[in-house]
A and B are shown apart, each in its own frame.
Chain A
Amino acid sequence: MRTHTRTSGKSIIIASTLAVFLIIAVAGAIYFSGKSRPYRAIADLDIEAIATNALSIRGNTYRLDAEVADSLFWSPSMGRLIAVSVSGGQKVLPVLVTTEFSSFNIQKGQKLILLLEVDDKGLLRTKGVTKA
C-alpha cells in the first residue's frame, strides 16, 4: 500500500516539472519570435487602398513585406523609385526608397520588410528598410 502511494507522488512531481518546462519553452519561443520580426507594432499596408485611392490613407505609416520587382527611376536628390511585388506576386506597387537608404543595396528579387509612409501624392516613401 505504501509502495503504491510513493509511486503516485513521484509521477505527479515529474508531470508538474514537464509542464513548467513546456510553459517556459512556449513563452520563450513566443518572446523570441516576436522580437526577430521588424516593425511588428506597425500595421500592414492596405494594398487595395493604395491601388484605388492612396490619398485616402496619406500621412499613415505601414509595414510591408515585399519583393523587389523592378527599378523604375533614380534621382540623386530624391532616391530610387522601385516596383515591388506583393501578395505573393498578385500585385505590384511603386515604392520610393529615399536617399537615407541609398547605401542599402537593392536588387531585383530581393525580399524586404519595409516601413512606409503614404505621402501627399499617394506615393509610398520608405521610412525603414530591412532585409527579410
Chain B
Amino acid sequence: MKILALAFCLVTANALAQPVPTPFQHGGKDAASPIPAFDPGSELVTWNGQHWHVTNQRLFSLEYEKYLSTPEASSTEDVAYHALMSKVQNLLSPANVSAATLDQAFHVLSEMADYQVDGNFSDVLSNQIYISWLALKSAGRITSAATALEAERKRLEWNLQMATTQPALGAGASNKTSKNGVFIPETPSLRQATLIEQIKTRLLEINTLLKSNQGKTEVSKTEARTDFQALLVQFYLQRRFEHVVIGVKFYRSIFNEGNSQLQVGEEAMSLLSKTTGNPPSLSTLDASAREMIQKVRQGVKAFGVLLAHQQMDNANKRLFESFSIGQYLPEIQLVPLSEKLKLLQYVQKTNQLISAIDVLDYALAAELVDSLRTSATDLDLTKPSAAIKTALVASDMHLAQARNAAVAGDKTTLETEMKTAAEIWPTNPKLAEMANAIFTQGNVQSKALVDFDQLVGQKNYRLISDDKLRFIAAVAAVPEKQEQLSKVLENIAQIDKALIQAGEIEKHGDFAGAWEVAETAFKEFPDDTKLNQIRANITVKAATFVNALSSARVLEDQRQFGSALAGYLQARKVYPDSQFAREGIDRVSREMIFDLQ
C-alpha cells in the first residue's frame, strides 16, 4: 500500500511538472500545497483540497484503460530501444565500468535519444553529463563527449543523406532519369518524410549542443552537482527509474561520490523522506528506483498468474499497482494485449457497476454482479449485492404499499409511496408497470364512472348489472356512487327474483298468476327491459284476465265504480286467486260505499 501511495504521489508530482487540466484545480486551504498527503489509516490521499481512495482506479481510469487497450510495445523500434537501455545498464554495471565504458555508455545514451519512446529523457541526461564534465574540466571526457556528439552528428548526416536520396524500402528502383540524363529522385513517401524530419530535428539539436558546449568556458562544480541531483530527482518523480539508475552511475563516476545528501527543494525533500523513510540521498534514490523496478517486475508476474486463475480482481490490482509505479518500464509495456483486454473487460464492468449503483440502476447492477461473479472468482461482491437487494426489497415494499393505497383510494399515500419507490430505484420495471396500470386504470375508471352515470340517468339498471364487475371496480374509490350501485344491484336482484317466480308459475300454465308477479315487479321497475319483454309475452297468454283487469282499472279511474267493480269481478272469475282483482274489488267497494254515505 505504501508503494501504491508513493506511486500516486509520483504520478501527481509528475502531473505538477506538466500542465494538467481540471478536475484537480479546486481552491481551498489545501490548494496552496502541491504535494499530496496520504493517510495510511483511511487509505485516503488528500491533494488540492480533494480526497481520493488510493485504490480508486477511476482517478487514473482514463490513463489505465487507455493502457489496457494499447498493443504491447513490441515494435522494432521498441525492441531496439530496450536493447540499448540494457546495453547502457550493462556498460555501467560495477563489474564493467571504466573510462572507456563510460564514453561508450554516453554514446549509446545519445543514440537512445533518437527514439520517440525515450521522450528525450536520454538527451537531457546526456546534456547534464556533458555539462558536469565541463564543470570538472575533465578534458578527456569532454573531448570524448565532443567526439561522441560529432560522431552522432556524422551518423545523422549520413542517415539524412540516405533518407533523401534512396527510395523507400520496397519501392523498387523507380528513380527516374530525364531525357537529358539528369537524375530525378522520387518524391519521398510519408514515412520517409517523417524520418527525414526527425533526423533533421535531432541534427539541429546536436549542432546546437556542440556550439553551446564550445561557448561554455566555466561552469561551477557545485552548480553542476546540484543540477544533476535535481535532474535525478525529477526523473524519479517522473517514474523514469531506469534513467535514475543510469544517471546515478554517471553521477558517481563524474563526482566520485558514494552517497551524498541530495540538495533539493523542501517539498521534494519532504516527499522523498516520507516515501523512503530516510533523508534523501543518492543511495536511497538509487535503491528506491531499483526497488520500484523490482516491484513492477514482481507485480507483472503476479498479474500473469492471477489472470490465468481467473482472479480478475487481484490481477487487476497487481497490474494497476505496477502500472501506477512503472508505467514506462518495459515489463509494463510488454504485457500482451490479449491479457490486457481480458482485464479491460473486467475493469469496464466494475466501473459500470459502480456507475449503475451511483445512478440507482439496480437492474443493470444486478446483471453486472451476476456476470462478475462468474468471470472474477475473487471479487468480493457482498457489498454491491447487499445494496442491490436492499434497494429492490425497499422499492417493492413501497410499491406494495402504493398498491394498497390505490385499492383503498388513498391518493395521498399512493403518491408518496410511488415517489419513495421511484427515489430508491427509478428504473424499477415494476414501478413502470404499476404507473402504467394506474394510468390505464384511471382511464378505465373514469370511463366506467361516466357510463355508470349515463346508465343511471337512463334507468338502464339491467346494463349496469350485466357489467357489474367493471362498475364495482370503478366506484370503489367513490363512496357516493357505491351506494347508488348497491341500490341498482339490489333492484336488479329483486327483478330477477320476480322473473324467476313468474317463469315457474308460467310453467304450470297459470299465465294470469305469472302475469300478476311480472306486473307487480313492473309497477316498481317499469324501465327494466328484460322485465318488460317477459311481461309482454305473458300478457298475450293471459289476455282475457289482463283485459278485464285493465278495463276495470280504467273505469275505476273514471270513477265508474259499478262498471269498474263489474270488471274486477269478471277478472276474479277468470282468475279466482287474483290479488289485483281482490284488491280492486275491496278498494272499489269501499270507495263506493263511502261515496254513497
Among A52, A81, A83, contact of B563 (Cβ-Cβ < 8 Å):
A52
Among B562, B572, B593, contact of A118 (Cβ-Cβ < 8 Å):
B562
Known: A75-B597, A78-B597, A92-B573. A121 touches B567 (CB 8 A): no
Q: Are B563 and A75 in contact (CB under 8 A)?
A: no
Among B559, B567, B572, contact of A51 (Cβ-Cβ < 8 Å):
B567
The B553-597 residues at the A interface (CB cut-off 8 A) are 559-563, 565-567, 569-570, 572-573, 585, 589-590, 592-593, 595-597
Q: Does A66 contact B (CB under 8 A)?
A: no
A61 to chain B, nearest CB (A): 15
Q: Are A121 and B559 in contact (CB under 8 A)?
A: yes
In the complex, chain B residues whose CB is within 8 Å of the CB of A114: none
In the complex, chain B residues whose CB is within 8 Å of the CB of A52: 551, 563
Among B562, B569, B572, contact of A122 (Cβ-Cβ < 8 Å):
B562
User: How many A residues face the partner with a CB closer than 8 A?
Assistant: 25
Q: Are B561 and A121 in contact (CB under 8 A)?
A: yes
CA distance A72 to B569 in the complex (A): 10
User: How many B residues face the partner with a CB closer than 8 A?
Assistant: 21
CA distance A83 to B593 in the complex (A): 15
CA distance A54 to B585 in the complex (A): 17
In the complex, chain B residues whose CB is within 8 Å of the CB of A53: 560, 563
Known: A73-B593, A121-B596. A50 touches B563 (CB 8 A): yes
A35 to chain B, nearest CB (A): 32
In the complex, chain A residues whose CB is within 8 Å of the CB of B570: 51, 91-92
The A40-66 residues at the B interface (CB cut-off 8 A) are 50-55
CA distance A77 to B597 in the complex (A): 8
Q: Are A51 and B566 in contact (CB under 8 A)?
A: yes
Q: Are B597 and A123 in contact (CB under 8 A)?
A: no
Q: Are B565 and A94 in contact (CB under 8 A)?
A: yes
Across the interface, name the chain A residue whose C-beta is closest to B559: A121
Q: Does A112 contact B (CB under 8 A)?
A: no
CA distance A69 to B592 in the complex (A): 19
CA distance A51 to B565 in the complex (A): 9
* Of A52, A91, A92, most B-chain CB atoms within 10 Å: A92
B368 to chain A, nearest CB (A): 96
The B172-221 residues at the A interface (CB cut-off 8 A) are none
Across the interface, name the chain A residue whose C-beta is closest to B565: A94
Among B560, B562, B567, B596, contact of A78 (Cβ-Cβ < 8 Å):
B596
In the complex, chain B residues whose CB is within 8 Å of the CB of A72: 565, 585, 589
B103 to chain A, nearest CB (A): 153
Bits for A78-103, please: 1 = Cβ < 8 Å to B, else 0: 10010100000001111010000000
Q: Does A124 contact B (CB under 8 A)?
A: yes
Q: Are A93 and B561 in contact (CB under 8 A)?
A: no
Q: Are A83 and B596 in contact (CB under 8 A)?
A: no
Q: Are B569 and A123 in contact (CB under 8 A)?
A: no
In the complex, chain B residues whose CB is within 8 Å of the CB of A123: 561-562, 565, 592, 596
In the complex, chain A residues whose CB is within 8 Å of the CB of B589: 72-73, 81, 94
Known: A73-B589, A92-B569. A124 touches B562 (CB 8 A): yes
Q: Are A93 and B569 in contact (CB under 8 A)?
A: yes
A81 to chain B, nearest CB (A): 6
CA distance A131 to B569 in the complex (A): 23
Known: A50-B563, A78-B597, A94-B562. A121 touches B592 (CB 8 A): yes
Q: Are B563 and A54 in contact (CB under 8 A)?
A: yes
What are 23 of the A-B contact pairs (CB < 8 Å)? A51-B566, A54-B562, A55-B560, A72-B585, A75-B593, A75-B597, A77-B597, A81-B589, A81-B592, A92-B570, A94-B565, A94-B569, A118-B562, A119-B562, A121-B560, A121-B561, A121-B595, A121-B596, A122-B561, A122-B562, A123-B561, A123-B562, A123-B565
Residues of B near any A CB (own CB < 8 A) = 551, 559-563, 565-567, 569-570, 572-573, 585, 589-590, 592-593, 595-597
Given contacts A51-B567, A52-B563, A123-B565, 17 further A-B contacts (CB under 8 A): A51-B563, A51-B566, A52-B551, A54-B563, A73-B590, A75-B593, A78-B597, A81-B592, A83-B569, A91-B566, A92-B566, A93-B566, A93-B569, A94-B562, A94-B569, A118-B562, A121-B592
